[in-house]
Amino acid sequence: MTETEPLREAMIEAAERQLATSADHEIATRAVCEAVGVSQPVLYRLFGDKRGLLDAVADHGYERYAALKAAQEQTHDPVADLHAGWDGHMAFAKQNPALYQLMFTPRPWSRSMARDRVMDLLVAALTRCAAAGALRVEPQTAAQLILAANVGTALDHIARPALFDDPALSHRMRDAVFSHVLTETTAHDDADPLHATALRLHAQLELTGTEALEPAETALLRRWLERITQPAATLEDLPS
């Protein structure tokens, strides 16, 4: 830990407290500095500007979010864990409305990686679903659909609580999206068994790897599986 790290953390925490109590979900850099007992040049030296401070608060929010995810028990049923993950996301938004809006409302100038890192957690959860044969599409696509729905629902709950005070609305949205990306317990006549098998094998390869193949062979196998699970892609579109 550097000499400035405790001061930096104190300023982030002060900014988050101010953000949570502000009627317009804004912060004043002068008030943040006064709360910690430093001058404004210190803030600029540590964060660059107000935007840099807000980015740091958003990333700090991700650390809290990730800690909650880590504390969530991982069961033998990845689909059940995915349902619990949706509800946990909604609970985090409800408990931290101002912070949540900072983390997930688009800010084109932001350098915060919070949203991308939340996406990574979701992709990991969906890879477990794919490895169990429970996913219709590749984890990245499923994660994009689920996160967009989860964030949109949560932001609507925060912005217009009177219109979105029924908790069943969240589950109806969850079930609608999940029905699109998750498989049913029984096979469909129109299901593509090769696509499903390739998707599952690719996920298993990502999770556990294999010692049966050389690294170059594993990379080639992964490339073939990606072509099967993403039939619209060309060889040039796929990563090497």
For the entire predicted model, the pTM comes to 0.75
The model's pLDDT over 172-181, given as tens digits with 9 standing for 90+, comes to: 999 999 999 9
**What residue ranges do the domains of the chain occupy?**
71-237
Q: How far apart are CA 134 and CA 46, in angstroms?
A: 46
pLDDT tier at 187 (50, 70, 90 boundaries)?
very low
Cα–Cα distance for residue pair 95/98, rounded to 1 Å: 9
CA distance linking residue 4 with residue 60, whole number of Å = 16
Say how far apart CA 57 and CA 172 lie, in whole Å: 31
pLDDT digits (tens, 9 = 90+) for 193-209: 677 777 777 777 787 78
State what percent of residues in the chain have pLDDT above 70.
Answer: 91
**Could you tell me the CA-to-CA distances from 103 to 53, 72, 132, 155, 172 in Å, in that order?**
13, 21, 31, 11, 24
Nearest to 58 by CA among 23, 98, 95, 89: 98
